[in-house]
Amino acid sequence: MKTIGILGAGQLGRMLALAGYPLGLRFRFLDPAAEAPAEQLADRLTGAYEDLVCLQQFTPGLDLVTYEFENVPVTTARYLAQRVPVYPPPAALEAAQDRVVEKQFFHQAGLSTVPFAEVNSRPELTTAVQQIGLPAILKTRRHGYDGKGQVVLRTVEDLPQAWTVLGGVPLILEAMVSFEREVSLLAVRGREGTIAFYPLVQNQHREGMLRLSLAPAPGLTADLQQEAEECGRRVLSALDYVGVLAIEFFQMPAAQGGPRLLANEMAPRVHNSGHWTIEGAETSQFENHLRAVLGLPLGSTACLGCAAMINLIGTIPPLAPLLSLPDVHVHLYGKSPRPGRKLGHVTVRTPDAATLLARLTVVQRLVHDE
């Protein structure tokens, strides 16, 4: 029986464990938080990722290490990689943790992005705005997620306040573009190099947080899927990647010419926009990640009809009305409610898109996410 170490014990780690137990796997988690969803399912060490004593307690008996949180220090991943296999490779963490480095990596791999500029001082912000234009988004280069660490700039009068809010740490200015929608690709690559892709998913965000994913993306064409998969192959190959990787794109209008997909960011881990795969695909992203890092054959990524995933944020709605509906599946993460916190998700899976949209309308009303 193999034992997998996971850095981070949040809901993604929890769902990895749930997918791994039918495969006869054991898990051990490391997380600095006082409480974590995965600790309900497996052994968990509480400690900082940089704590060498804790890392030395974490590694004995592990067959490999993976992570469910991309802000794990690269030094930690490299330290562990000297003692036990670590997947995805630490280079993927390094590329994803800094937004400037990430976009430079995309360009090197042949992917297109929005125009961007590095910002390290107030004068550089003025220069970047002159170069990029407005409107634009000023972001921290590190540790921003779910809409945190970013400010929209619409006029030059917004610059002083934006600098007051974010200045003092390395920043990036990104152009705001007129895109059709946000889509994401889940790719998985095994240790021997086999690659599989899930269909592109359409995502809807509000207040910087993912609220809804539709799979497959409505109106998805073979050409668009092919373009996304080529982007995915380039990234996977450049990183010698192993495991599940998510790449988020802006889909641009076809009439403008050029690439339809602009790479926005990537996550070297299982991803929120792939939660639908638990019920909506032949093999979930969580099981396929485990298959990949263990060197097992990858499972089919085919859809089982059409699916939607709705995040439960801040509060948990009454369960009985949701569970009385056909085609509805509820996942709660064991977290205490508080504003802005992801507490769970609901998946709706139906045979066709029309039935999905009808059922989704009812579910969104029940979870107060219309």
Closest residue by Cα to residue 354 from 210, 180, 213, 218: 218
Sign of CA dihedral 123, 108, 153, 120: negative
Does the pLDDT at position 370 exceed 60?
no
Closest residue by Cα to residue 281 from 303, 249, 308: 303
Per-residue pLDDT, 369: 64
348 by Cβ neighbours in 10 Å (0-12 / 13-18 / 19+) ranks as: buried
**pLDDT for 117-132, tens place per residue?**
999 999 999 999 999 9
SS3 call for 225: helix
Per-residue pLDDT, 239: 98
**pLDDT for 274-322, tens place per residue?**
999 999 999 999 999 999 999 999 999 999 999 999 999 999 999 999 9
Average pLDDT, the chain: 95
**pLDDT for 347-367, tens place per residue?**
999 999 999 999 999 999 999
Contact 274, 201 (CB under 8 A): yes
Per-residue pLDDT, 368: 81
Instruction: Find the helix or strand (DSSP H, E) in which 322 lies.
Output: helix 319-323
Q: What span, in angstroms and rounded, lies between the C-alpha atoms of 304 and 281?
A: 5
Contact 163, 122 (CB under 8 A): yes
Q: What is the dihedral of CA 306, 309, 228, 115, to 10 degrees?
A: 150
Domains (range + CATH), the chain: 3-86 (3.40.50.20), 115-175 (3.30.1490.20), 181-366 (3.30.470.20)
Q: What span, in angstroms and rounded, lies between the C-alpha atoms of 105 and 274?
A: 23
- Label residues 161-181 b or e (16+ Cβ within 10 Å = b): ebbeebeeeebbbbbeeebee
**Percentage of the chain modeled with pLDDT above 70:** 98
Start-to-end Cα distance in the chain: 45
From residue 270, alpha-carbon distances to 157, 207, 357 in Å are: 40, 22, 26
Instruction: Find the helix or strand (DSSP H, E) in which 354 lies.
Output: helix 353-366
**pLDDT for 141-200, tens place per residue?**
997 665 678 999 999 999 999 999 998 899 999 999 999 999 999 999 999 999 999 999
**pLDDT for 232-242, tens place per residue?**
999 999 999 99
Per-residue pLDDT, 147: 60
Structure tokens at 85: 């296999």
Q: Which residues of the chain form beta strands (DSSP E)? A: 3-7, 26-31, 43-46, 64-67, 116-119, 136-140, 150-153, 171-175, 181-189, 195-197, 201-206, 209-215, 243-251, 261-267, 306-313, 328-332, 342-350
pLDDT band at 258; cut points 50, 70, 90: confident
**Percentage of the chain modeled with pLDDT above 90:** 91
Q: What span, in angstroms and rounded, lies between the C-alpha atoms of 237 and 217?
A: 25
Per-residue pLDDT, 167: 83
Per-residue pLDDT, 257: 76
Q: How many CB atoms lie within 10 A of CB 355?
A: 16
Q: What span, in angstroms and rounded, lies between the C-alpha atoms of 67 and 334?
A: 20
Per-residue pLDDT, 255: 72
Q: What span, in angstroms and rounded, lies between the C-alpha atoms of 143 and 325?
A: 38
Which residues have CB under 8 Å from 355's CB, separation 6+? 306, 327
Closest residue by Cα to residue 110 from 237, 201, 257: 237
Per-residue pLDDT, 272: 97
